[in-house]
Amino acid sequence: KKSLFSGMQATGTITLGNYLGALKNWVDIDKDQYMCFYSVVDMHSITVRQEPSELRKRARSLLALYIAAGLDPVENCIYYQSHVSAHAELMWILNCFTYMGEMNRMTQFKDKSQKHPENINTGLFTYPVLMAADILLFQSDVVPVGKDQTQHLEITRDIAERFNKIYGDVFTIPEAYIGKVGQKIMSLQEPEKKMSKSDENANAHILLLDDPDTIMRKFKKAVTDSEACIAYSEQKPGIKNLLDIYCAINGKKPEEAVAEFEGMGYGRLKERVGETVVEELRPIQERYNDIMKNKDYLNKIIKDNGEKASYYATKTLRKVQHKVGFPDRI
Ligand code: ATP
Ligand code: MG
Protein backbone atom coordinates (compact mmCIF):
# COMPACT_ATOMS: atom_id res chain seq x y z
CA LYS A 1 0.00 0.00 0.00
CA LYS A 2 1.04 3.58 -0.59
CA SER A 3 1.12 5.99 2.29
CA LEU A 4 -0.67 9.32 2.70
CA PHE A 5 -0.50 12.09 5.28
CA SER A 6 -2.45 15.29 5.82
CA GLY A 7 -3.54 17.50 8.68
CA MET A 8 -5.30 20.61 9.86
CA GLN A 9 -4.52 23.09 12.55
CA ALA A 10 -6.74 23.43 15.58
CA THR A 11 -6.65 27.22 15.24
CA GLY A 12 -10.44 27.52 15.05
CA THR A 13 -13.44 25.59 13.81
CA ILE A 14 -12.60 24.56 10.29
CA THR A 15 -14.11 26.46 7.40
CA LEU A 16 -15.88 25.54 4.25
CA GLY A 17 -12.51 26.19 2.56
CA ASN A 18 -10.78 23.53 4.65
CA TYR A 19 -13.64 21.17 3.97
CA LEU A 20 -13.85 21.64 0.20
CA GLY A 21 -10.09 22.06 -0.31
CA ALA A 22 -8.96 19.20 1.90
CA LEU A 23 -11.29 17.18 4.11
CA LYS A 24 -13.83 16.32 1.40
CA ASN A 25 -11.01 15.03 -0.81
CA TRP A 26 -9.68 12.91 2.06
CA VAL A 27 -13.00 11.15 2.36
CA ASP A 28 -12.93 10.25 -1.35
CA ILE A 29 -9.51 8.60 -1.25
CA ASP A 30 -9.42 4.89 -2.03
CA LYS A 31 -8.55 3.14 1.23
CA ASP A 32 -7.51 -0.04 -0.55
CA GLN A 33 -4.70 1.83 -2.23
CA TYR A 34 -3.54 4.07 0.58
CA MET A 35 -2.70 3.78 4.22
CA CYS A 36 -3.92 7.15 5.48
CA PHE A 37 -2.72 9.29 8.39
CA TYR A 38 -4.78 12.36 9.28
CA SER A 39 -3.46 14.46 12.09
CA VAL A 40 -4.88 17.28 14.15
CA VAL A 41 -1.70 19.34 14.01
CA ASP A 42 -1.93 21.04 17.38
CA MET A 43 1.84 21.62 17.48
CA HIS A 44 1.52 23.87 14.44
CA SER A 45 -1.34 25.70 16.10
CA ILE A 46 0.82 27.24 18.83
CA THR A 47 2.90 29.19 16.30
CA VAL A 48 0.11 31.69 16.94
CA ARG A 49 -0.88 32.40 20.57
CA GLN A 50 -3.69 30.12 21.79
CA GLU A 51 -5.83 30.02 24.90
CA PRO A 52 -4.92 26.57 26.37
CA SER A 53 -8.41 25.36 27.31
CA GLU A 54 -9.75 26.56 23.96
CA LEU A 55 -7.00 24.81 22.02
CA ARG A 56 -7.70 21.56 23.82
CA LYS A 57 -11.42 21.82 23.08
CA ARG A 58 -10.87 22.71 19.45
CA ALA A 59 -8.44 19.86 18.90
CA ARG A 60 -11.00 17.36 20.14
CA SER A 61 -13.73 19.00 18.13
CA LEU A 62 -11.61 18.87 14.98
CA LEU A 63 -10.83 15.20 15.47
CA ALA A 64 -14.56 14.51 15.82
CA LEU A 65 -15.23 16.53 12.68
CA TYR A 66 -12.81 14.39 10.69
CA ILE A 67 -14.91 11.37 11.62
CA ALA A 68 -18.23 13.19 11.13
CA ALA A 69 -17.18 14.23 7.63
CA GLY A 70 -16.82 10.57 6.73
CA LEU A 71 -13.33 9.39 7.69
CA ASP A 72 -13.62 5.94 9.21
CA PRO A 73 -11.32 5.91 12.30
CA VAL A 74 -10.51 2.24 11.81
CA GLU A 75 -9.52 2.50 8.17
CA ASN A 76 -7.75 5.82 8.74
CA CYS A 77 -5.28 6.75 11.43
CA ILE A 78 -6.75 9.90 12.99
CA TYR A 79 -4.59 11.30 15.80
CA TYR A 80 -3.16 14.31 17.64
CA GLN A 81 0.26 15.43 16.46
CA SER A 82 1.31 16.27 20.03
CA HIS A 83 0.72 12.65 21.11
CA VAL A 84 3.45 11.43 18.77
CA SER A 85 6.77 12.84 19.93
CA ALA A 86 8.55 11.64 16.78
CA HIS A 87 7.21 14.73 14.97
CA ALA A 88 9.29 17.05 17.12
CA GLU A 89 12.32 14.76 17.12
CA LEU A 90 12.45 14.44 13.35
CA MET A 91 11.86 18.15 12.99
CA TRP A 92 15.00 18.90 14.96
CA ILE A 93 17.08 16.75 12.66
CA LEU A 94 15.51 18.26 9.55
CA ASN A 95 16.15 21.75 10.93
CA CYS A 96 19.81 20.97 10.55
CA PHE A 97 19.26 20.23 6.86
CA THR A 98 17.23 23.34 6.04
CA TYR A 99 18.67 26.72 5.11
CA MET A 100 17.60 30.09 6.48
CA GLY A 101 17.38 31.37 2.93
CA GLU A 102 14.82 28.71 2.02
CA MET A 103 12.61 29.61 4.96
CA ASN A 104 12.92 33.30 4.16
CA ARG A 105 11.12 32.71 0.89
CA MET A 106 7.99 31.20 2.43
CA THR A 107 4.97 33.37 1.71
CA GLN A 108 2.84 31.98 4.56
CA PHE A 109 5.45 33.19 7.05
CA LYS A 110 5.34 36.65 5.50
CA ASP A 111 1.53 36.74 5.65
CA LYS A 112 1.27 35.44 9.19
CA SER A 113 4.06 37.60 10.59
CA GLN A 114 2.34 40.66 9.16
CA LYS A 115 -0.86 39.57 10.84
CA HIS A 116 0.85 38.99 14.20
CA PRO A 117 3.70 41.54 14.36
CA GLU A 118 3.75 41.23 18.16
CA ASN A 119 4.62 37.52 18.06
CA ILE A 120 6.96 36.64 15.20
CA ASN A 121 8.40 33.56 16.87
CA THR A 122 10.92 31.11 15.40
CA GLY A 123 8.24 28.39 15.43
CA LEU A 124 6.30 30.39 12.88
CA PHE A 125 9.49 30.73 10.85
CA THR A 126 10.34 27.01 10.89
CA TYR A 127 6.73 25.84 10.52
CA PRO A 128 7.49 24.29 7.11
CA VAL A 129 10.20 22.09 8.66
CA LEU A 130 7.70 20.65 11.14
CA MET A 131 5.34 20.08 8.24
CA ALA A 132 8.14 18.30 6.35
CA ALA A 133 8.69 16.10 9.41
CA ASP A 134 4.94 15.31 9.60
CA ILE A 135 4.92 14.15 6.01
CA LEU A 136 8.27 12.34 5.86
CA LEU A 137 7.72 10.44 9.13
CA PHE A 138 5.07 8.32 7.42
CA GLN A 139 7.02 7.88 4.18
CA SER A 140 4.07 9.56 2.49
CA ASP A 141 3.66 9.13 -1.23
CA VAL A 142 0.81 11.60 -1.42
CA VAL A 143 -0.23 14.68 0.55
CA PRO A 144 -3.73 16.00 -0.17
CA VAL A 145 -3.75 19.75 0.57
CA GLY A 146 -5.24 23.01 -0.64
CA LYS A 147 -3.40 25.11 -3.19
CA ASP A 148 -2.01 27.45 -0.50
CA GLN A 149 0.27 24.63 0.67
CA THR A 150 2.15 23.94 -2.58
CA GLN A 151 5.17 25.96 -1.51
CA HIS A 152 5.46 23.96 1.72
CA LEU A 153 5.21 20.72 -0.22
CA GLU A 154 8.04 21.84 -2.50
CA ILE A 155 10.32 22.57 0.43
CA THR A 156 9.46 19.17 1.94
CA ARG A 157 10.59 17.51 -1.27
CA ASP A 158 13.78 19.59 -1.35
CA ILE A 159 14.67 18.68 2.22
CA ALA A 160 13.94 14.98 1.61
CA GLU A 161 16.00 14.92 -1.58
CA ARG A 162 18.89 16.68 0.14
CA PHE A 163 18.83 14.16 2.97
CA ASN A 164 18.58 11.17 0.62
CA LYS A 165 21.50 12.46 -1.40
CA ILE A 166 23.72 12.38 1.64
CA TYR A 167 22.44 9.24 3.40
CA GLY A 168 20.88 7.06 0.70
CA ASP A 169 17.22 6.29 0.19
CA VAL A 170 15.76 7.18 3.56
CA PHE A 171 12.64 9.19 2.69
CA THR A 172 9.92 8.65 0.11
CA ILE A 173 9.62 11.84 -1.96
CA PRO A 174 6.00 13.00 -1.53
CA GLU A 175 3.69 14.44 -4.18
CA ALA A 176 1.03 17.05 -3.47
CA TYR A 177 -2.48 16.03 -4.38
CA ILE A 178 -4.65 19.03 -5.06
CA GLY A 179 -8.30 18.23 -5.77
CA LYS A 180 -9.89 19.29 -9.03
CA VAL A 181 -12.48 21.46 -7.33
CA GLY A 182 -12.38 23.57 -4.20
CA GLN A 183 -8.63 24.12 -4.46
CA LYS A 184 -8.91 27.58 -3.09
CA ILE A 185 -12.11 28.90 -1.58
CA MET A 186 -11.96 32.64 -1.06
CA SER A 187 -13.12 34.91 1.77
CA LEU A 188 -16.77 35.94 1.48
CA GLN A 189 -15.82 39.47 2.46
CA GLU A 190 -12.56 39.95 0.54
CA PRO A 191 -12.80 37.49 -2.37
CA GLU A 192 -9.22 38.15 -3.43
CA LYS A 193 -8.01 36.58 -0.14
CA LYS A 194 -8.31 32.90 0.78
CA MET A 195 -10.92 31.89 3.32
CA SER A 196 -9.07 31.21 6.61
CA LYS A 197 -10.34 29.92 9.89
CA SER A 198 -8.14 32.41 11.73
CA ASP A 199 -9.81 35.41 10.02
CA GLU A 200 -11.26 37.63 12.78
CA ASN A 201 -14.13 38.78 10.57
CA ALA A 202 -16.77 36.09 11.19
CA ASN A 203 -18.64 37.04 8.01
CA ALA A 204 -15.59 36.16 5.91
CA HIS A 205 -15.90 32.43 6.49
CA ILE A 206 -18.47 29.69 6.79
CA LEU A 207 -17.60 27.41 9.67
CA LEU A 208 -18.44 23.73 9.48
CA LEU A 209 -20.50 24.03 12.65
CA ASP A 210 -22.41 27.20 11.70
CA ASP A 211 -26.18 26.74 11.97
CA PRO A 212 -28.37 27.11 8.86
CA ASP A 213 -29.50 30.68 9.68
CA THR A 214 -25.93 31.84 10.16
CA ILE A 215 -24.86 30.24 6.90
CA MET A 216 -27.69 31.90 4.96
CA ARG A 217 -26.98 35.26 6.59
CA LYS A 218 -23.25 35.11 5.75
CA PHE A 219 -23.97 34.24 2.11
CA LYS A 220 -26.46 37.10 1.90
CA LYS A 221 -23.72 39.46 3.05
CA ALA A 222 -21.11 38.02 0.66
CA VAL A 223 -19.25 40.71 -1.28
CA THR A 224 -19.83 40.55 -5.05
CA ASP A 225 -19.66 43.35 -7.64
CA SER A 226 -21.94 45.95 -9.16
CA GLU A 227 -22.52 44.34 -12.56
CA ALA A 228 -25.53 42.14 -11.85
CA CYS A 229 -24.40 39.50 -14.35
CA ILE A 230 -23.59 35.94 -13.34
CA ALA A 231 -20.38 34.88 -15.10
CA TYR A 232 -17.39 32.72 -14.18
CA SER A 233 -14.41 35.04 -14.50
CA GLU A 234 -11.26 36.09 -12.63
CA GLN A 235 -12.52 39.66 -13.01
CA LYS A 236 -15.50 38.78 -10.84
CA PRO A 237 -13.86 37.07 -7.82
CA GLY A 238 -16.94 37.25 -5.58
CA ILE A 239 -19.27 35.58 -8.08
CA LYS A 240 -16.57 33.13 -9.18
CA ASN A 241 -16.11 32.06 -5.56
CA LEU A 242 -19.84 31.47 -5.07
CA LEU A 243 -19.89 29.36 -8.24
CA ASP A 244 -16.78 27.47 -7.12
CA ILE A 245 -18.43 26.61 -3.80
CA TYR A 246 -21.59 25.49 -5.57
CA CYS A 247 -19.67 23.32 -8.04
CA ALA A 248 -17.32 21.81 -5.45
CA ILE A 249 -20.34 20.47 -3.58
CA ASN A 250 -22.51 19.13 -6.38
CA GLY A 251 -19.81 18.19 -8.88
CA LYS A 252 -21.13 20.47 -11.63
CA LYS A 253 -18.88 22.31 -14.05
CA PRO A 254 -18.76 26.12 -13.85
CA GLU A 255 -20.39 26.44 -17.31
CA GLU A 256 -23.28 24.25 -16.20
CA ALA A 257 -23.76 26.35 -13.08
CA VAL A 258 -23.64 29.60 -15.08
CA ALA A 259 -26.27 28.24 -17.47
CA GLU A 260 -28.45 27.19 -14.55
CA PHE A 261 -28.33 30.66 -12.99
CA GLU A 262 -28.77 32.60 -16.21
CA GLY A 263 -31.04 35.59 -15.82
CA MET A 264 -31.16 35.33 -12.03
CA GLY A 265 -30.12 38.13 -9.69
CA TYR A 266 -27.19 37.92 -7.27
CA GLY A 267 -29.63 37.59 -4.37
CA ARG A 268 -31.06 34.38 -5.77
CA LEU A 269 -27.58 32.99 -6.52
CA LYS A 270 -26.45 33.62 -2.95
CA GLU A 271 -29.57 31.94 -1.65
CA ARG A 272 -29.09 28.84 -3.82
CA VAL A 273 -25.43 28.51 -2.84
CA GLY A 274 -26.35 29.01 0.82
CA GLU A 275 -29.01 26.28 0.66
CA THR A 276 -26.59 23.91 -1.05
CA VAL A 277 -24.04 24.42 1.72
CA VAL A 278 -26.65 24.01 4.47
CA GLU A 279 -27.74 20.67 3.00
CA GLU A 280 -24.14 19.47 2.59
CA LEU A 281 -23.26 20.29 6.19
CA ARG A 282 -26.48 19.10 7.85
CA PRO A 283 -25.61 15.36 8.07
CA ILE A 284 -22.02 16.17 9.09
CA GLN A 285 -23.26 18.33 11.96
CA GLU A 286 -25.68 15.63 13.08
CA ARG A 287 -22.96 12.99 13.15
CA TYR A 288 -20.64 15.43 14.90
CA ASN A 289 -23.13 15.95 17.72
CA ASP A 290 -23.51 12.21 18.20
CA ILE A 291 -19.77 11.61 18.27
CA MET A 292 -19.12 14.38 20.78
CA LYS A 293 -21.70 12.87 23.13
CA ASN A 294 -19.99 9.49 23.03
CA LYS A 295 -16.90 10.32 25.12
CA ASP A 296 -15.60 6.76 25.58
CA TYR A 297 -15.80 6.03 21.87
CA LEU A 298 -13.78 9.13 21.01
CA ASN A 299 -11.23 8.51 23.78
CA LYS A 300 -10.59 5.01 22.52
CA ILE A 301 -10.03 6.24 18.97
CA ILE A 302 -7.60 8.85 20.24
CA LYS A 303 -5.63 6.32 22.25
CA ASP A 304 -5.55 3.50 19.67
CA ASN A 305 -4.73 5.73 16.73
CA GLY A 306 -2.11 7.67 18.68
CA GLU A 307 -0.31 4.40 19.36
CA LYS A 308 -0.63 3.28 15.77
CA ALA A 309 0.77 6.57 14.46
CA SER A 310 3.63 6.38 16.98
CA TYR A 311 4.53 2.91 15.79
CA TYR A 312 4.95 3.92 12.16
CA ALA A 313 6.54 7.28 12.95
CA THR A 314 9.11 5.73 15.27
CA LYS A 315 10.17 3.27 12.59
CA THR A 316 11.23 6.13 10.32
CA LEU A 317 12.69 8.15 13.18
CA ARG A 318 14.99 5.33 14.31
CA LYS A 319 16.27 4.87 10.80
CA VAL A 320 17.01 8.59 10.47
CA GLN A 321 18.68 8.76 13.89
CA HIS A 322 20.95 5.92 12.91
CA LYS A 323 21.80 7.49 9.57
CA VAL A 324 22.90 10.80 11.10
CA GLY A 325 25.08 8.97 13.60
CA PHE A 326 23.17 8.88 16.88
CA PRO A 327 24.08 5.85 19.03
CA ASP A 328 21.69 2.94 18.57
CA ARG A 329 19.49 1.79 21.45
CA ILE A 330 20.39 -1.63 22.80
P1 ATP B 1 -5.02 29.23 9.45
O2 ATP B 1 -5.61 30.54 9.00
O3 ATP B 1 -4.96 29.08 10.93
O4 ATP B 1 -3.72 28.90 8.75
P5 ATP B 1 -6.39 27.62 7.53
O6 ATP B 1 -7.85 27.90 7.26
O7 ATP B 1 -5.41 28.08 6.53
O8 ATP B 1 -6.09 28.16 8.99
P9 ATP B 1 -4.96 25.10 7.86
O10 ATP B 1 -5.15 24.22 9.04
O11 ATP B 1 -3.74 25.93 7.77
O12 ATP B 1 -6.27 26.04 7.75
O13 ATP B 1 -5.09 24.20 6.55
C14 ATP B 1 -5.77 22.94 6.53
C15 ATP B 1 -5.97 22.48 5.10
O16 ATP B 1 -6.98 23.27 4.46
C17 ATP B 1 -4.74 22.61 4.21
O18 ATP B 1 -4.70 21.47 3.35
C19 ATP B 1 -5.01 23.85 3.39
O20 ATP B 1 -4.36 23.81 2.13
C21 ATP B 1 -6.52 23.77 3.22
N22 ATP B 1 -7.12 25.09 3.03
C23 ATP B 1 -7.00 26.13 3.89
N24 ATP B 1 -7.72 27.17 3.45
C25 ATP B 1 -8.28 26.80 2.25
C26 ATP B 1 -9.14 27.45 1.31
N27 ATP B 1 -9.54 28.69 1.50
N28 ATP B 1 -9.53 26.76 0.20
C29 ATP B 1 -9.12 25.47 0.01
N30 ATP B 1 -8.32 24.81 0.87
C31 ATP B 1 -7.90 25.45 2.00
MG1 MG C 1 -3.27 27.82 6.88
Residue 253 confidence (pLDDT): 94
Residues with C-beta less than 6 Å from any ligand 1 atom: 8-9, 11, 15, 17-18, 21-22, 145-146, 148-149, 182, 184-185, 194-198
Q: What is the pLDDT of residue 262?
A: 92
Is the predicted pLDDT of residue 110 greater than 90, yes or no? yes
Q: What is the DSSP letter of 327?
A: P
Mean pLDDT (whole number) for 237-266: 95
Classify 4 in phi/psi space as left (phi over 0), alpha (psi -120 to 50) or beta. beta
DSSP characters over 156-179: HHHHHHHHHHHHSS-S---EEE--
How high does pLDDT run on average in the chain?
96
Residue 197 labeled ligand binder? yes
Question: Which segments of the chain does DSSP mark as H helices, in order?
Answer: 16-18, 24-27, 42-45, 52-68, 86-95, 100-104, 107-115, 122-137, 150-167, 212-220, 237-250, 254-261, 266-293, 295-324
Which pLDDT does position 17 carry in this prediction?
95
Residue 181 pLDDT: 74
Domain 202-289 coded CATH 1.10.240.10: yes
Domain with CATH 1.10.240.10 in the chain: 202-289
Whether residue 164 contacts residue 94, with contact meaning beta carbons closer than 8 Å, is answered with no
How many residues belong to the chain?
A: 330
CA pseudo-torsion sign 202, 207, 209, 211: positive
Is residue 252 part of the annotated active site? The answer reads no
User: Which entry of 24, 112, 218, 236 is annotated as an active-site residue?
Assistant: 112
Nearest CA to ligand 1 atom 25: 17
Residue 114 has pLDDT above 80, yes or no: yes
* Residue 270 marked in a binding site: no
* pLDDT score of 183: 83
Confirm if 43 and 59 have CB atoms less than 8 A apart.
no
Q: What is the mean pLDDT of residues 1-17?
A: 95
Atom of ligand 1 nearest to the CA of 48: 3
Residue 180 has pLDDT above 90, yes or no: no
User: What percent of the chain lies above the pLDDT cut of 70?
Assistant: 100
Give me the pLDDT at residue 43, please. 98
Which of 30-44, 157-171, 178-192, 206-220 bottoms out in mean pLDDT, i.e. has the lowest? Answer: 178-192
Stretch(es) of the chain classified as CATH 3.40.50.620: 2-178+295-324
Q: What fold does the segment set 2-178+295-324 form as a domain? A: Rossmann fold (3.40.50)
Strands, sheet with 175-177, edge to edge from the N-terminal-most edge strand: 76-80, 34-40, 2-8, 142-144, 175-177
**Mean pLDDT on 165-174:** 98
Say if residue 213's pLDDT is above 80. Answer: yes
Cα–Cα distance measured from residue 61 to residue 122, given in angstroms and rounded to the nearest whole number: 28
* Half-sphere exposure at residue 109, Cβ-oriented, CA atoms within 13 angstroms: 19
Q: What confidence tier does 94 reach under pLDDT thresholds 50, 70, 90?
A: very high
The angle, 0 to 180 degrees and rounded to 10, between the axes of the packed helices 266-293 and 254-261 is 120
Q: Is 196 annotated as a binding residue?
A: yes
Closest atom of ligand 1 to 18 CA is 16
pLDDT at 297: 96
pTM over 0.90: yes
For a mutational test of ligand 1's pocket, the pick from 8, 110, 152, i.e. the residue with the most ligand atoms closer than 8 A to its C-beta, is 8
What is the pLDDT confidence band of residue 227, given thresholds at 50, 70 and 90?
Answer: very high
Three-state SS for 129-142 is HHHHHHHHHCCCCE
Range 229-243 average pLDDT: 96
Give yes or no: 197 in active site: yes
